Structure 1
């Protein structure tokens, strides 16, 4: 069996892990950053970030809904969130995403690792760009919050 392709994206935040983690798991704010694109319109943000809970996020892009699903495996405040993730194009090909919140000089480093299924290896560059955009969105949101 072919091993997953590991995608790794890192982002530095000036806020401590607790604040960034809390923003990451806040259902009221998830539509501001997760799978949110500049041109898209968020239509649905069902988000229950507890072990066994899940999410279904839908953003309309160029008139077409983009569906994203997940099931939370671990939620360990303020250190780590782990979830299985899948999209409408491959509902039976769940992939694992791990997000670590590491203390760094009064702030934190967010390290997101996505074990992309081998069948999606051709999408590695696009997936990296997507997660980079998502962490940039999370960064902007935490910077703007009081």
Structure 2
């Protein structure tokens, strides 16, 4: 039996846990960092920040639109956020993303854990790069 691949990325921010947490649920802020690439253009960002609420973030990349979908399953402000995550074209298959935020020094430390199905094992490196980029974008958006 294959073990599910797990990606874990940790980053410190010079912002309060509340401010970092809220960035994921605020459509204006999420649109500045979630699933954004340097050359992409934000087309749509919708976030219904409640348990059972969904998000859709669409970025135009060249001639194609990359659609990212999710549903919030656990929200414990400002420490824990869990959502099911998928992309258009994944045949409705979703993976779980956990975000844990803890106070640290003059800010906080965020640990993101993404659990994927075994068939995505070859994508672990790209997924880790993607989340690292996203958390870097969050740092820039927070100022």
Instruction: Note whether the superposition's TM-score is higher than 0.5.
Output: yes
Query: 1:44 — aligned with what?
Result: 44
Secondary structure at 1:137 match in 2: helix
State the alpha-carbon separation in 2 of the partners of residues 2 and 71 from structure 1.
26
Number of equivalences = 143
Query: 1:90 — aligned with what?
Result: 90
Secondary structure at 1:65 match in 2: strand
Alignment of 1:11-50 (within 5 A): 11-50=11-50
TM-score calculated relative to the size of structure 2: 0.96
Superposition deviation, residue 81 in structure 1: 0.6
Unaligned 5+ runs, structure 1: none
Kindly provide the CA deviation profile for residues 14-67 of structure 1, in whole angstroms up to 9, marking residues without a partner as x: 112111112222112211000011100110111112100001111010110001
RMSD: 1.0
State the alpha-carbon separation in 2 of the partners of residues 2 and 50 from structure 1.
33
TM-score calculated relative to the size of structure 1: 0.94
Unaligned 5+ runs, structure 2: none
Q: Which stretches of structure 1, 4 residues or longer, exceed 3 Å deviation after superposition?
A: none
The answer to whether the 8 Å contact 1:47/1:54 transfers is yes
The answer to whether the 8 Å contact 1:24/1:138 transfers is no
